[in-house]
A and B are shown apart, each in its own frame.
Chain A
Amino acid sequence: MLLAVMLLAAGCGGSGSGKLTVFAASSLTEVFQQLAPGTRFEFAGSDTLATQLRDGARADLYAAASTKYPGELYAEGLVEKPVVFATNRLVLIVPADDPAGISSVSDLRRPGIRLVIGAEGVPVGDYTRKALEQLGETGALARVVSEEQDVKGIVSKVALGEADAGFVYATDVRPVAGEIQAIELPAAVQTRALYSVAVVTGAEHRQGAERFLRLLRSERGRAALRDAGFGLP
């Protein structure tokens, strides 16, 4: 009977389903769904997904918003050699009506500004800290009112107007373009987020995973990525 219950639960888990399972960074949500509608996607923070893969979660492909986690997993033998397939850049976002009157990163220094960024260890949070260092604007960190575990948490708090500003990827702006404004960072910011993808070792749907990889690097895949605001390597 216990076996029966477990089988039922496993059926609900869907790990045994015949579908390709792709673990991907939250920021890839729109473009991946558009590229391969029939695929089973799990979108979350790249670091969260890495944790799940280490804990034995079954997936065929892992696409992260950094090279760090795929690199670590590669070293641990959990994924095959990762390749960079897209790049992203950081932007400063403010609510559409910009209640705090922010027009550049240096405005973030003003007292009373409510800034939301990614937590340390979350790629967008690490890129943000690096960018602020390069700009000599680490004073902005004193205005942080919340450190989020993924990009969606940052976007939603700014779009709702609860935060005055946040740092996210350029590609995160498009889906909520009506509710937020994006401010480009000065050219002095050298950090570019590198997105890398790897086939999971022992993938159940190896062929499907490789097909998805080819699709990503094909003309169609590159066009979709470009349209979504990604840079190409």
Chain B
Amino acid sequence: MRRLFDLGLALALGIALAFLLLPILALFLRVSPGTLFAQLGSGVARDALWVSVKTGLIAHAFVVGLGTPAAYLLGTRRFRGRQLLLTAIELPLVLPPAVAGIALIAVFGRRGLLGGTLEAAGVTVSLTQAAVVLAVAFVASPFYLRQAVEAFAAVDRTLLDASRTLGAGSFRTFRRVALPLAAGGLGAGSVLAWARGTGEFGATIMFAGSLRGQTQTLPLAIYAQLDQDQTVAIAIGALLVLVSLVVLLSVKLLPSWTRFSSGWPTPFARSASR
């Protein structure tokens, strides 16, 4: 009886694995590695990679730059409405991408809430590279925020208090105690946010459009190439799979890595990283 049960479990795992991994494997089987590399050198792929990296970096600077202090506040203070804010932050996580696209147009579009003001100042956001940055930041930031709030919340409060008792100001405490202790979680969140941002498609195509070298990111290039040159589309797809794999591995490895290499080997840090 027990053996039968175990067999059933193993079978379920086998089916689940096959279902999840077979499509990814099939992607690589469809084009030989040689053609794959050759296609990645194609102009479309290179332009898309450049657009993705550039918009990704700018969006990421915003996400981490604003997200870290915001998450520190949410993670270390207790106040009324905090739970509500935490839930609100996660909303973009579950929002269908097309809805995110319409929502961004409703705010930043030329007829949007802020669009008129921006237009008067001579700035048009929609259908430009700035729109890609906004779309990427919008869908990616919840991944970072959520992870960062958790990381800061996990920092032992007594350490923060001790730091202040010993005469360090709030900013110094944030920089020298909280930040290093939360570094693993922040790093993991940052990598996840980057990955989600790189895969962004729905909001971008609606809000930013698709123009090679300008707004055509890697996922948009896949979509555009699918009916032009499938091998290019598959090559870009394979590249994204590899990038995702690296991302996943680094998220798994980051927390243990920072424990040893964090630049602040204080007694606090050691006791808190457990």
Contacts and interface: CB of A to CB of B under 8 A. Distances in A.
A5 B211 contact: no
Contact of A145 (B105, B111, B211): B211
B220 to A, nearest CB: 9
A147 interface: yes
A110 to B, nearest CB: 15
A127 to B, nearest CB: 16
B212 interface: yes
Nearest to A46: B227
B224 interface: yes
A47 interface: yes
Which 10 pairs between the two chains have the least Cβ-Cβ distance?
A: A146-B209, A47-B227, A162-B126, A145-B127, A121-B228, A51-B227, A161-B111, A48-B227, A161-B110, A146-B211
Interface residues on chain A, size class: 20 to 34
Interface stretch (A58-66, A77-85, A112-120, A212-220): A112-120
B224 A5 contact: no
Interface residues of B, number: 27
Interface in A28-79: 45, 47-48, 50-51
A153 B205 contact: yes
A136 B154 CA distance: 66
A146 B209 CA distance: 5
Contacts of A5: 15, 19
A153 B205 CA distance: 9
Contacts of A116: 127, 209
A2 interface: yes
A27 interface: no
Nearest to B216: A147
Given A1-B15, A5-B15, A162 B110 contact: yes
A4 to B, nearest CB: 10
B226 interface: yes
Given A45-B227, A153-B205, A157-B127, A146 B210 contact: yes
A181 interface: no
B127 A146 contact: yes
B264 interface: no
A25 to B, nearest CB: 13
Nearest to B111: A161
